[in-house]
Amino acid sequence: RSGGREQWSGQTAFILAAVGSAVGLGNIWRFPGEAYTHGGGAFMIPYLVALLSAGIPILFLDYALGHRFRGGAPLAFRRVRRWAEGLGWFQVGLCFLIALYYTAVIAWAVSYFIFSFDLRWGDDPTGFFTGEYLNLGDPGFSLTFVPSVLIPLVAVWVVTILILMAGVAKGVERANFVFMPLLVVAFSILVVRALFLDGATDGLNALFTPDFSALADPGVWIAAYGQIFFSLSIAFGIMITYSSFRQRRSNMTGPGLVVAFANSSFEIFAGIGVFATLGFLAVKEGVGIGDLEGITGVGLSFMTFPAIISEMPGGQLFGALFFGSLVFAGLTSLLSILQVVSSAFQDKFGLTPRQGALRIGLVAAVLSVLGFSTTTGLIALDTVDKFTNNIGIVVSAVAMTVIVVWVARLGPELRYHLNAVSTFQLRGWWTVCIGLLAPWSSATCSSPRSPRSSRRDTAATRPGTS
């Protein structure tokens, strides 16, 4: 293999691309609502515990696998154990599914960026979104194309495929150098503006007032682990892929800490921006924050925020900043998701980056356009999103830690590898976290019922142990 693997141009490029992947829609539309509904300020405690006990340790595990075994997810796992290649392809499958709907959301945000300038959604943003924009009017299954969605969706695919075709250093890395500063600038202006809205402090009080009784609720801990896994994009094969493009002798743990810290900072920053803005709406409507609907996800972004933007002095600019931020944050995450798929096929079939990106990109684009620019799109999005986030990621994280730590017993070797190249040294706690806490906590975060039923299963298969 004298051709060699593609490489980032250096450490800054790697960090920027990894932060670009981590900071995505989840930071802006998922974290604020999760924190608010799970104890407000008190949520920071389980959040930090999840970050330190599972988030950062699994992030390092992803880095170690990609960097040591120098392959995309399937190849890296194949080098751990031949039969483990399937886990890599499972992660590739998850990424492929996520890419289909992630692109759709980015396309909507592109439309809404343009709509911001004339407040196109009028007096009834909810009706506009589901009716005029997505055309969900006719009930039942229908494959009527919706041009207003089709055009931006195709545009997003074209841009994404072109960037990926240019390769890791000339494409993905450069795109991050452009989009990430734009994101930070646009979002910072937005947050500062939001802080000067009437009712901003009410919003912040609602978000940060701690409800310590929430800590006794297992559901709050589950939400914290779920948020950390999704937000850091760990156990999706993404960080394995990105770190496989890192030069052989290069610091891995230091950048890992930077990425985790940057992602969480952005999340809290977004919480401030979103809740200051929601505070404004609550004051306008004369209700409490708790009475507002649509404080996360699609509802927050395409129904609640447009309503607020229409009410606000200078709303057009605010809207452009908000939807622009969604586009920039989303695109850099989308690139990482598709790079996983493209790299896997390059590794397997000896394709060039151009070939890999073009082939998988075209297949994904066709499926995404068929699935999401028609009237059934929204329903599909919800289902795909639930499957990948609630089930897929947990299966993937548990399988990964079990195979690497318990079956192949690579914990010490990988720790040695990271320490040999890195500044920040990992000690025994890391092996403990990935060996014990990580599979346990990710199994817990799938659903409140799973730990109990699996314990029962274990007891049933070993009758002699009571």
Which residues from 9-38 bind ligand PHE, rule CB under 6 A?
21-22, 24-27
Please report where in the chains the tokens 């299954």 appear, as a residue: 141
Q: 236 touches which of ligand PHE, Na ion, none (CB within 5 to 8 A by kind)?
A: ligand PHE
Phi, psi of 145 (to 5 degrees): -75, 140
Give the interface segment with ligand PHE, choosing from 8-16, 48-56, 229-237, 314-322 (CB under 6 A). 229-237
Site mask for ligand PHE (CB under 6 A), range 289-308, x = bound? --------------------
Q: Can you give the three-state secondary structure of the chain, one letter per residue?
A: CCCCCCCCCCHHHHHHHHHHHHCCHHHHHHHHHHHHHCCHHHHHHHHHHHHHHHHHHHHHHHHHHHHHHCCCHHHHHHHHCHHHHHHHHHHHHHHHHHHHHHHHHHHHHHHHHHHHCCCCCCCCHHHHHHHHHCCCCCCCCCCCECHHHHHHHHHHHHHHHHHHHCCHHHHHHHHHHHHHHHHHHHHHHHHHHHHCCCCHHHHHHHHHCCCHHHHHCHHHHHHHHHHHHHHCCCCCCHHHHHHCCCCCCCCCHHHHHHHHHHHHHHHHHHHHHHHHHHHHHHHHHCCCHHHCCCCCHHHHHHHHHHHHHHHCCCHHHHHHHHHHHHHHHHHHHHHHHHHHHHHHHHHHHCCCHHHHHHHHHHHHHHHHHHHHCECCHHHHHHHHHHHHHHHHHHHHHHHHHHHHHHHCCCHHHHHHHHHHHCCCCCCHHHHHHHHHHHHHHHHHHHCCCHHHHHHHHHHHHCHHHC
Q: 238 touches which of Na ion, ligand PHE, none (CB within 5 to 8 A by kind)?
A: ligand PHE
Complex with ligand PHE: residue 229 or 280, whichever CB lies closer: 229
> Is residue 233 a contact residue for ligand PHE (CB under 6 A)?
yes
Give the interface segment with Na ion, choosing from 25-33, 53-61, 121-129, 136-144 (CB under 5 A). 25-33
Site mask for ligand PHE (CB under 6 A), range 321-360, x = bound? ------------x--xx-----------------------
Give the interface segment with Na ion, choosing from 3-11, 17-25, 400-408, 418-426 (CB under 5 A). 17-25
Give the interface segment with Na ion, choosing from 202-210, 225-233, 398-406, 424-432 (CB under 5 A). 225-233
- Residue 169 CB, shortest distance to ligand PHE, in Å, is 20
> Is residue 26 a contact residue for Na ion (CB under 5 A)?
yes
- Residue 267 CB, shortest distance to ligand PHE, in Å, is 8
Give the interface segment with ligand PHE, choosing from 171-179, 225-233, 278-286, 436-444 (CB under 6 A). 225-233
Interface residue with ligand PHE, options 103, 116, 160, 231 (CB under 6 A): 231
Residue least distant from Na ion (Cβ): 231
> Is residue 96 a contact residue for ligand PHE (CB under 6 A)?
no
Interface residue with ligand PHE, options 230, 242, 302, 323 (CB under 6 A): 230
- Residue 233 CB, shortest distance to Na ion, in Å, is 7
Complex with ligand PHE: residue 230 or 305, whichever CB lies closer: 230
> Is residue 336 a contact residue for Na ion (CB under 5 A)?
no
- Residue 274 CB, shortest distance to ligand PHE, in Å, is 14
- Residue 464 CB, shortest distance to Na ion, in Å, is 46
Give the interface segment with Na ion, choosing from 94-102, 180-188, 262-270, 407-415 (CB under 5 A). 262-270
> Is residue 22 a contact residue for Na ion (CB under 5 A)?
yes
DSSP structure string for 356-417: HHHHHHHHHHHHHHHHHSBTTHHHHHHHHHHIIIIIIHHHHHHHHHIIIIIIS--HHHHHHH
Give the interface segment with Na ion, choosing from 5-13, 15-23, 209-217, 408-416 (CB under 5 A). 15-23
Angle at 365 between CA 362 and CA 366, to 5 degrees: 85
Binding site for ligand PHE (CB under 6 A): 21-22, 24-27, 98, 230-231, 233, 236, 238, 333, 336-337
- State the residues that interact with Na ion by CB under 5 A: 22, 26-27, 231, 263
